[in-house]
Copies of this chain bind each other. A is one copy, B any other.
Amino acid sequence: MASTNGLRDRRRRQTRRDIHAAALWLAREHGFDKITVDMISAEAGVSPRTFFNYFPNKEAAVLPGPTELPEGLAAQFITRGAAHPREVLADLTQLLVRDLADNAPQRQEMHAVFALTRSHPALLAAMLARFDSFQRSIAEAVAQRLEQRPDGEVPTLLAALALTAMRTGLERWACEESQSEADDSPVPYVERSAELLRTLLTP
């Protein structure tokens, strides 16, 4: 049963990746304004109906990555229990970094996405909404761990800090020229932003 679910999950992730890759390729080839859900579906070899099972619109399809913390990682994080906010933030960074390592985006791809968001306000807004939704799922995990309300100040602020580190690191990584294949991971960039955020406010 578990392996059937596992297979289905992998297939779903693959279809999602295929549609995303088709959308991004078409956007770079024809310009984001010119592409349609029908074009993306045809390119990915799925029906428009299937497209809408995965994404609400073309903006969402062009953007990479998930909008929620993976359940397994969130559960591990929550069971660690009460800790100093600095420690909670360090755990959050580790968790985001592990998620990034498991679902490594490609630098070229992220570069293209950030470039598209700069010229298409609707795409920027969709990306910000995705970060916001991701941030909310992190705030919920922090709230559960600290036994506080999810809209409480501490969970909200810690989630915002973690997301800020992730977004800043990802943007720097995506905008820098790739030095070599070997170091082509956003992880050191996100870790560096998180470390800088910690030390910035240390008296």
The chain A residues found within 8 Å of chain B, CB to CB, are 84-86, 89, 121, 124-126, 128-129, 131-132, 151, 153-154, 156-158, 160-161, 164-165, 168, 172, 175, 192-193, 196-198, 200-203
A33 to B194 Cα, complex, angstroms: 40
Copies in the complex: 2
Flag if B156 contacts A201 (CB, 8 Å).
no
Chain A interface mostly helix, strand, loop or mixed? Answer: helix
A163 to chain B, nearest CB (A): 9
Interfacial chain B residues near A160, Cβ < 8 Å: 160, 164, 168
A82 to chain B, nearest CB (A): 14
Flag if B168 contacts A201 (CB, 8 Å).
no
A89 to B198 Cα, complex, angstroms: 13
A123 to B125 Cα, complex, angstroms: 10
Flag if A128 contacts B132 (CB, 8 Å).
yes
Evaluate whether A157 and B164 lie within 8 angstroms (CB atoms) in the complex, with A85-B201, A89-B201, A125-B126 already known.
yes
